[in-house]
Amino acid sequence: MIGQRRQLMFYLLGAVLIFLVGCRGGGSEAQKLVYGLTLAPSGIDPHIHASSELGIPLNSVYDTLVYLDPESGEFVSGLATEWSVSKDGLAYTFDLREGVTFHDGTHFDAQAVKFNLERVMNPETGSQKARYMLGQFESAVVVDDATVEIHLTAPYAPLLDSLSQVYLGMASPTAVKKWGNADYQFHQVGTGPYKFVEYVPGDHLTLELNPEYKWGPAFLQPGGTAGVDKIEFRFYQDPATRAIALESGQVQVMGEIPPQDAGRLEQSPDFVLYPVPIPGQPLQLFFNTARPPTDELAVRQALIYAAERPTIVSTIFGSWSPVASGPLSAVTVGHVPELQSWYSFDPEQAEALLAEAGWVDSDNDGVRERDGQTLALEFYYMGWGMMPEMAQMLESNWAAIGAQVNAQLLSYPAALQAAGDGEHNIIPFNLSGADPAQLNNFYSSGGGFNWSKIQDAELDDWLAQAAASSDLNTRLALYHQAQTRIMEQALILPIRDYVNLNAASAKVRNLRFDARGWFPLLAEVRLED
């Protein structure tokens, strides 16, 4: 009898152990979430590359020194528990969280912060975005293991905003040194709630839950319900395949659902639509002011007046996206509402501007000429964000006022190259971000994304002052002036404020997005049976 009881006891104990190993989070079995991505980036090292798409998975791999709370809009502690700024704005001191380890076991400390920031700033790294986010960075100084100072050569008010983004996430120095800049993107190591497992370009990227994670920001409720055990991100570049993948069960979450599919999914009890307004810059077209004929103000203004933006937006993007009116979207701090009344659709005004500037159709072939030159436009666009459909409608609008449009679809790297070389007359772009300082890199004479090729000393001065000022009201007034000048000079054609139409299976619970709208907060996502 005693032996039977002992056998029964061991049997029950074994069953309990099996149950504990196989189950987590209140008794649910191990879970896998498949998440659909819509762009296959050319690279996914956040210190090097610039796409928003890379942040969707990697926001869960990396922690940042501070976080922007999506509810309060305030900066809260991350890998830094406290921070202070010197009176002159040239030194930021961060007290670091102790007891944090990278996924490879490397200890996180002030030396790791110094290593990461110096890696970003090293020209050999070739950073496309992160280095510009550090403003006038001079050095990172290790005070002790738990204290680091960032020194600047000039005040840079958006520094905390920059440090809260995945592009300045903290990577394991051990892993970076082991793999080097070329291969680190395939072996990334952070301190976040998920571990990087595998990346096969154009096919999938896999993360696994980090069971040791206990140092996340307060809004992620560390210590609460853990996320799914594994997340697999798959690429669906063709918009037509996205809703199909969701409805067939290939994925449980999909980003950038086409508007025509979003309406259908919204009506189904099996799915939930998550329309997320994106702060930052709208989908906009930059006019090259250094290349004829868009070097003329009248031509640029005519192209804006001739663009039937309300029809374009409603036809392509449905009822979810507002028509853009300026360089910042309406949900971005510093947006100028008065710009909404500028440049209403007026093809007659467009034709009058061109005629007054001497562009006429003298041979009645439908294309305007002046001094033997046709009104020809090199229009480059990319394949994502429904840009091809937008380009087709704009080409029709501009042909109606006598412009000859050479529209070319380019890959993202090719578009970056063409824009940098100034081969375009017109090229689209958008960028998400919570701080209006993103305008500096696009409209300052020396900005890395100065695709309008504008050289305006007064505009440069306003932007520089705005980025350096610690007073919010002063900054907003300066950015108001800058946005007004940008539209007075018709440097861009704003198309639509971005609203990211995400959709998920109704079984997905706790899906939220960060303060910038693109990146999901996956640490608490669960799947219900």
Same domain as 261, residue 298? no
What is the Cα 195 distance to its own chain's centre?
Answer: 21
Given a cut of 60, whether residue 23 has pLDDT beyond it is no
Indicate the SS3 state at residue 137: strand
Query: What is the pLDDT, as a whole number, of residue 396?
Result: 97
CA angle 341, 345, 349 (to 5 degrees): 105
User: pLDDT band for position 233 (50/70/90)?
Assistant: very high
Given a cut of 70, whether residue 225 has pLDDT beyond it is no
Same domain as 211, residue 93? yes
| Spatial distance between the Cα atoms of 251 and 345, rounded to a whole number of angstroms | 41
Strand partners, 492: 286
Nearest to 504 by CA among 270, 297, 317: 270
State the pTM of this model: 0.80
Give all strands of the β-sheet with 230-235 in edge-to-edge order. Answer: 194-200, 204-209, 230-235, 32-37, 253-254, 499-505, 271-277
Report how far apart, in Å, the C-alpha atoms of 221 and of each of 27, 75, 79, 488 are: 20, 16, 15, 46
CA angle 221, 185, 96 (to 5 degrees): 40
Query: What is the pLDDT, as a whole number, of residue 419?
Result: 87
Indicate the SS3 state at residue 451: coil
Nearest to 255 by CA among 486, 414, 55, 433: 55
| 169: number of Cβ within 10 Å | 26
User: pLDDT band for position 76 (50/70/90)?
Assistant: very high
Query: What is the pLDDT, as a whole number, of residue 144?
Result: 98
What pLDDT, in 10s, does the model give residues 132-149? 899 899 999 999 999 999
Percent of the chain with pLDDT over 70: 93
The domain spanning residue 65 has which CATH number? 3.40.190.10
* Number of domains forming the structure of the chain: 2
Same domain as 210, residue 297? no
Same domain as 364, residue 445? yes
Average pLDDT of the chain, as a whole number? 91
CB 492 within 8 A of CB 483: no
Decide if 3 is inside a domain.
no
Query: What is the pLDDT, as a whole number, of residue 42?
Result: 85
Same domain as 466, residue 510? no
Query: What is the pLDDT, as a whole number, of residue 221?
Result: 63
User: pLDDT band for position 470 (50/70/90)?
Assistant: confident
Given a cut of 50, whether residue 21 has pLDDT beyond it is no
What pLDDT, in 10s, does the model give residues 364-385? 999 999 999 999 999 999 988 7
Decide if 127 is inside a domain.
yes
User: pLDDT band for position 227 (50/70/90)?
Assistant: confident
Same domain as 473, residue 327? yes
Given a cut of 70, whether residue 9 has pLDDT beyond it is no
Same domain as 239, residue 365? no
Decide if 448 is inside a domain.
yes
Same domain as 129, residue 76? yes
Nearest to 487 by CA among 339, 283, 354, 287: 339
CA atoms within 13 A on the CB side of 245: 26
Decide if 381 is inside a domain.
yes
Which range is least confidently modeled, 102-106, 217-221, 347-351?
217-221
Decide if 63 is inside a domain.
yes
Which range is least confidently modeled, 421-425, 431-435, 480-484, 501-505?
431-435
Same domain as 211, residue 320? no
Same domain as 310, residue 293? yes
512: tokens are: 């939220």
Query: What is the pLDDT, as a whole number, of residue 14?
Result: 42
Question: Could you tell me the residue range of the domain that residue 516 belongs to?
Answer: 33-276+501-527
Same domain as 471, residue 515? no
Decide if 22 is inside a domain.
no
How large is the average pLDDT for residues 252-273? Answer: 94
User: pLDDT band for position 3 (50/70/90)?
Assistant: very low
User: pLDDT band for position 223 (50/70/90)?
Assistant: very low
Same domain as 311, residue 248? no
The domain spanning residue 360 has which CATH number? 3.10.105.10
Nearest to 395 by CA among 319, 452, 470, 312: 312
| Spatial distance between the Cα atoms of 147 and 144, rounded to a whole number of angstroms | 5
Strand partners, 520: 513
Classify 372 in phi/psi space as left (phi over 0), alpha (psi -120 to 50) or beta. left
Given a cut of 80, whether residue 257 has pLDDT beyond it is yes
